[in-house]
Each structure stands twice: as C-alpha cells, then as structure tokens.
Amino acid sequence: MEDKIKICVVLGSIREGRFGERPAKWIADELKNWEGIEVELVDLKDYPMPFFDSPTSPSMMGKKYQNEMVQKWSAKVDGADAFIIVSPEYNHGYSSVLKNALDWLSPEWSKKAVGFVSYGSASGARAIEQLREVAIELNLVPIRKSVHIPWDFIMKTWSNKDISNAELFTPLRKSMGPDHLADFVNDLVWTAKALKEARKKGQ
C-alpha cells in the first residue's frame, strides 16, 4: 500500500483574535477529504519557543536541541512530508513567530515540499515572496502556486463573526481558475511524493 503524504498546515499567527485561524482550519478541513493525504493543523501557539539564541547553528546540531519545546517542534516537523504555511502579512513581511520557528530547525525541513497561504491588502503576496527565499535556504522546495486571500475576506469575517469558513472561502476556490485550491494541493502532493521517493532512495 502506498504511504500517505503527511502534510502539516502551519498556522503562523498567534495573536488574540487572529484571522489566520480561519484559512488554516478551512484548508486542513478540506484536506481531510483528500485521498492519500494525512493532514494536521499545527498551531505555533502550541509551540512557544524562545527567541532563537542557540550558540550553534541548527544545521550542525544533528536534531539535538536542549530546549524541550524546540525538541517537540523538531519531532513534529521531522514527521511531515510537506507543509502548508499560513502566514499573515505584518509590515510587508511574514510574522516573526514564523521566522523564529523556521530558524530553530534545519535538517527537519530539508528536501520537503512547501506551499504558502497568506492574506491582506495585497493578498499576502509580499509575505509569501519573502517566505519563498527563506524556504530555499532551508532546502525546502516551494511550489509555484500559492493561495492569496484578498482583504475583503478579512473584512467579511470582522463584520460577520458567524460566517462559516466554507461560506467565506468556497468562492475563493473558483476565483483563480476552475478550482485553485485543488490545483495548489495537487501540485504540493506531486512534489511531496517525488521528494519522498528520492529521500527514501537516499538521494
């Protein structure tokens, strides 16, 4: 039987009343129905790590960390084949909690696929472009497609807290082609499978 591709949907905003919880939950719920995928919503709120202060680079530490929370984070990332990173855009960049979580690890990210989701006045485009550069340095493999959520979706949530995630986001699936979410996930899974096979062969 073919191994399932394990995808972590990483929620990169930890602030009170965050919008990010909406798209992260929506995508994780959608992925639960996808064949061949095992999905987990990973909330950085559950991984309160110190600001990166390691005397040694994580690329030289062989996954051996002193801090218990970093050990827990390392195990979570290590067990995944691919990531969907959901990030807010703060001051034209991605969130600092996300950068900290990325910097704490190194080999755990290596040769794995990543796709990005963001939102904001420029649909999170600036945050995602910055994330791509950092991902490449971590030896992650970013896919071309991403999910960009326009500002009016955030506003709809503020003005109507009762709106369900499906009501809010289903129109987005059609807004960038026949089914943008499916295209995004299929590309991520394709890349994740190819990388998993290659990792198994030790390539």
Ligand X SMILES: Cc1cc2nc3c(=O)[nH]c(=O)nc-3n(C[C@H](O)[C@H](O)[C@H](O)COP(=O)(O)O)c2cc1C
Query: Where along the sequence are the contacts to ligand X (CB under 6 A)?
Result: 13, 15, 18-20, 88-92, 120-122, 154
Contact present, 199 and 111 (Cβ < 8 Å): yes
Tokens of 140: 């992650």
Q: How far is the CB of 1 from ligand X (least distance, A)?
A: 38
Q: How far is the CB of 63 from ligand X (least distance, A)?
A: 30
Q: How far is the CB of 163 from ligand X (least distance, A)?
A: 15
Q: How far is the CB of 105 from ligand X (least distance, A)?
A: 22
**Smaller CB separation from ligand X, 22 or 112:** 22
**Smaller CB separation from ligand X, 165 or 191:** 165
**Smaller CB separation from ligand X, 46 or 197:** 46
Which residue bears the tokens 């909690």? 97
Contact present, 131 and 87 (Cβ < 8 Å): yes
Tokens of 39: 């999905």
**Element (H or E) spanning 115, and its range?**
strand 113-120
Q: How far is the CB of 32 from ligand X (least distance, A)?
A: 22
Contact present, 6 and 82 (Cβ < 8 Å): yes
**Smaller CB separation from ligand X, 92 or 199:** 92
Contact present, 128 and 87 (Cβ < 8 Å): yes
* Contact partners, residue 23, CB within 8 Å, separation at least 6: 86, 117, 119, 147, 149, 165, 169
**Smaller CB separation from ligand X, 65 or 116:** 116
Rounded to the nearest 10 degrees, the angle between the axes of helix 125-137 and helix 96-103 is 10
**Smaller CB separation from ligand X, 95 or 191:** 95
Contact present, 150 and 168 (Cβ < 8 Å): no
Q: How far is CA 162 from CA 156, 157, 159, 171, in A?
A: 10, 8, 9, 17
Q: How far is the CB of 14 from ligand X (least distance, A)?
A: 8
Q: In this chain, which residue has its C-beta nearest to ligand X? A: 120
